[in-house]
Chain A
Amino acid sequence: MSDTLSPTSSTAAVPSAPPLDSRATRLRHFWADYRRSPAALLSLLVIVVLLVLSFGAPLLAPQDPYDMAALDWLDAFLRPGEVGSGGYTHLLGTDNAGRDMLSAIFYGLRTSFVIGLSACALALAVGIVVGLTAAYFGGRIEAVLMRVVDLQLAMPAILLALVLVAILGQGVAQIILALVVAQYAYFARTTHGAAKVERGKDYIEAARSTPLSTGRVLFRHLLPNVLPPLIVVATVQVASAIALEATLSFLGVGLPLTEPSLGSLISNGFKYIHSDRAWLSIYPGLFLMVTVVAINLVGDQVRTLLDPRRAT
């Protein structure tokens, strides 16, 4: 038989592979599909604008709310559009200490983004390690790790975060730590579920029987194949982390007003919600709502596009 079919003829019989799909091309396809949803496109635009406003706050905001010396009691409770002693218009008015609300919201948004993004990134890293370890090694390690995760998921995240902040104290780092502890469980569960499926596939067995080191099997083979569902969870969790932080600050255990976040601004204005100064709560609340809704809409679209059952 080896005479009838020589290796050279077998080479010629192999059909040539389809043209190369590079990473850049795949990204371009993804973007083309993403653009088809106007809501998702608008949300992305909103997020970009909010990111620029918040991280550009030191350049864009008329006032530095961290600088207590810049605050003037005489400027307290100016209505939106009034001109204060600084000689500029307070577009969103001022609060009880004479803080320019627009500036405070920009800075507060920055705090919210920093906390939301870094808490999510850390929770993602912890969740990946926990989930991969549990799925790969199985047995007792898996039982212990995943039972802890299940226990945590059974508790409301806000309750856990409240207790942790009460123990750890106030401050950006403490809040991030509390959010990581409250949120890693979602990432761990998603990673575990996806990794458990991939773990049983032949390419993992092939990598193990080469043999490749455990670290390489985990992070070069298993991890890239469980990443798509994690990206979806991560976008949604950023929004949820921002909302959680705002809730903590609103309840008074988060950040102090001298270091404003959206939550503490809403909380500060809440005292006047029944008066004609309700804007003190409403404006930061609107910014929070728009941010969270926009991130969730982007996450929804990413989920739709990454769904393996979606026909392409």
Chain B
Amino acid sequence: MSLLTIDHVSKRFTRPTGAIVRGLEKLRGQTPKRTVHALTDVSLEVARGEVLGIVGESGCGKSTLGRIVAGIYAPSDGAVTLDGAPVARESRGTVDKLTTRVQMIHQDPFASLNPRMKVGETIAEGPRQHGLIPAPDLRDRVAALLSQVGLEPAYADRLPHQFSGGQRQRIAIARALAMQPDLLVLDEAVASLDVSIQAQVLNLFLDLRRDLDLTALFISHDLSVVRHVSDRVAIMYLGRVVELAPVAPLYDAPQHPYTQALFASVPRLGEGRARFHPIKGEIPSPLDPPPGCAFHPRCPFAGPRCRTEVPRLKPHDSRAVACHLHDGGTGATTGTSEAA
């Protein structure tokens, strides 16, 4: 039984426009597209104790997915449930988060801590509000949390500006852990840190995962970081999951042409001459996604079928791929499909 279920979730953002602007556009006879398809029909499951990595280029919807799971956005369609209970509810335009069991760690620790609140209070206020820790024990608990993330308990009375980036990210982790979450969402949690600090924070995460049996959604654009911490990885492209597989088989033999291109684009050392293959073309606008497979304008194997029919995420053994190459061919005349 999976802990987190993401069931056919879509998210569209529509730019609000006033009546006057709409009227003017109607007069001119042109209505610009203003709906961003950030997520389209994403279904994923995360088992208890599992770390699912989410990988993709910027703009692929991975952060939107994280925010929906963390109850910051409500999905336009579909549902996100934790043990069968919804994470958030939308009523009259505002999102009400219904659970404390999902906590999020943001990318930028310089922005995610209230600059005018002592870090001890930042860590304590959530559990206090929800009665998770009895009031007399709060101070001790904050001290324990700080030492658990490798900081001195005496730091509780300091303000965020007195800490380095890595220390702040540790504080953000302590704040999340204080809520005793079942699921952590880490949105590019180490991306803004120096490489040496990244390693420290990642090790902290791995230690905490082992000690607390954490379940996590680990969102990153960094393939090597994701490989290091995840059990399974979902590759996203333009709002859809295109490949989902356990780490080892995915990194050994990526199936989807986009995943292959993504892996090939990582610069490698020690191969004599520079080998760097950027994916040709640009990521299409989510305001106007291409018909059929979203990757077909950039895909070297695209056939006629790819331009019209959206590929479905089809399971193969322990993994799943959304590509016509692996699901009856692209409709191209001769054996290009074997090239995969």
Contacts and interface: CB of A to CB of B under 8 A. Distances in A.
A3 to B, nearest CB: 10
B206 A2 contact: yes
Interface string A208-238: 1111110010001100110000000000000
A104 to B, nearest CB: 45
Q: With a 10 A CB-CB cut-off, give which of A5, A201, A210 has the most chain B CB atoms.
A: A210
Given A203-B111, A205-B112, 10 more contacts: A6-B203, A7-B150, A10-B203, A10-B204, A11-B150, A139-B93, A202-B106, A202-B112, A205-B106, A206-B113
B113 A5 contact: no
A17 B116 CA distance: 17
A18 B117 CA distance: 17
12 contacts: A2-B203, A7-B203, A10-B150, A10-B203, A14-B167, A14-B170, A17-B163, A17-B167, A202-B107, A210-B100, A211-B71, A224-B117
A218 B179 CA distance: 21
Contact of B126 (A10, A210, A225): A210
A209 B113 CA distance: 13
B151 A209 contact: no
Contacts of B108: 202
A212 B114 CA distance: 13
B301 interface: no
Given A203-B113, A225-B116, A209 B97 contact: yes
B126 A212 contact: yes
Contacts of B85: none
Contact of B162 (A11, A18, A203): A18
Contacts of A139: 93
B164 A15 contact: yes
B115 A17 contact: no
B275 interface: no
A1 interface: yes
B155 A17 contact: yes
Contact of A5 (B71, B96, B167, B199): B199
A14 B72 contact: no
Contacts of A13: 196, 200
A203 B179 contact: no
B204 to A, nearest CB: 6
A20 B204 CA distance: 26
Contacts of A2: 203, 206-207
Contact of B175 (A201, A206, A213, A225): A206
B157 interface: yes
Contacts of B96: 211
A69 B150 CA distance: 77
B117 A221 contact: yes
Interface string B161-179: 0111011001010010001
B114 A205 contact: no
Given A208-B97, A220-B125, A14 B151 contact: yes
A5 B114 contact: no
A16 to B, nearest CB: 8
B189 to A, nearest CB: 12
A216 B129 contact: yes
